Amino acid sequence: MWDEVKAVIESNQSFVISSHVNPDGDSVGSALGVYECLKALGKDAVVAMNDAIPDAYTWLDPDGDILAPASEADMERLGSMDVVVVVDANGWDRLGRLRKPLEDSAASKIVIDHHPYSELIAPTSVIDTKASSTAELVYDLIDSMGAPLTARAADALYTGILTDTVSFRFARSAPCAHITAAKLLTSGVDPSRVYDQVYNQNTGARTRLMGRALSDIRFSGCGRVAWLTVTRSMIEETGALSSDTSGFVDVTMTIAGTEIGIIFVETRDGTVQISLRSRPETDVNQIAVGLGGGGHRNAAGAVFNGTLEQAVETVTAAAVTAL
């Protein structure tokens, strides 16, 4: 499955690795895994993202190797690399401001991903929708290239698997995810250290914001849909950051009887960020796709153009219909 990717890597020297907007543990982990692999093979590589790396993952990049958010000057330079590698996304529109320089460049293009897709954006694509995470695929790439697995790559890939499976809780945590995780542990990853870095570094402000959001939880569909809202003023009053809302929606799924959980976050530019979660038997990806977003069957997201009230009305109605 890696022959074409290997051939492109072997016959080129400079690589730019990128991923989707609002990077998560899997996009950062997969990008760093590919970066470390290419560096170990003596290649020139750079990772560039549209947005800053969330605090939970900055420990993976202590020297700030990742260009995030990429500047205008970075983007000009990136267009002239030999190869563009897109990880954890398969759609140019997912790259934000990096779309134009990378899509338009004359570089060879590689996609490594595990999201469902409607069409390929690059002929050299390895997309496995059964994989728990892109990180699991990147481990396989490094292994099949015979490239050394650096300690940083191992930490990064373990982080990708840990976060995309929500600590091995999701249905897509197939045996493969555990097997790859076990190999990473064997190579020296300290699971308690990674868990502590990723999940136990919240600020007081984030915890207060979570309390505000949770204390106002609402239900639709006779309790089967649970939803949270976070307004701009809640974020400002608690002194939290917009990115602090990451993970709040997962709390809705800890409630007995909830089949769909939703969070609505009001943004500065007048849109509403929506994240959806569901039990294995319920598909929320179709709701996200209907809103112009996407993701997975049990975890998806979209950006709604309109007010918070309009978003709540539209999306809770779609969720009740999807039950």
Q: Which stretches of the chain bind Mn ion, using CB under 5 A?
A: 26, 88, 133-134, 164
Residue nearest Mn ion (C-beta atom): 26
Nearer of residues 79 and 116 to Mn ion, judged by Cβ: 116
Among residues 108 and 134, whose Cβ is nearest to Mn ion? 134
**Smallest separation (angstroms) from Mn ion to the CB of 30:** 7
- Distance of closest approach, residue 135 Cβ to Mn ion, in angstroms: 7
Q: How far is the CB of 263 from Mn ion (least distance, A)?
A: 19
CA distances from 160 to 46, 49, 69, 117 (A): 19, 16, 20, 20
Q: What is the smallest separation between the CB atom of 163 and Mn ion, expressed in angstroms?
A: 8
- How near is the Cβ of 87 to Mn ion at its closest, in Å? 9
In this complex, which beta carbon is closest to Mn ion, that of residue 177 or of residue 235?
A: 177
User: Please, which residue, 133 or 229, has the CB nearer to Mn ion?
Assistant: 133
Cα gap 46→13, rounded to integer Å: 12
The residue among 89 and 318 lying less far from Mn ion, judged by its C-beta, is 89
SS3 148: coil
Q: How far is the CB of 258 from Mn ion (least distance, A)?
A: 23
Instruction: Read off the tokens for 316.
Output: 């809770």
Query: Which residue pairs from 149-155 have beta carbons closer than 8 angstroms and sit at least 24 positions apart in sequence?
Result: 149/187, 150/36, 150/40, 151/187, 151/188, 152/32, 152/36, 152/60, 153/32, 153/33, 153/36, 153/37, 154/184, 154/187, 154/188, 154/189, 155/60, 155/189, 155/194
**Comparison of 39 and 172: residue with beta carbon closer to Mn ion:** 172
Write down the residue that tokens 């650096």 correspond to.
150
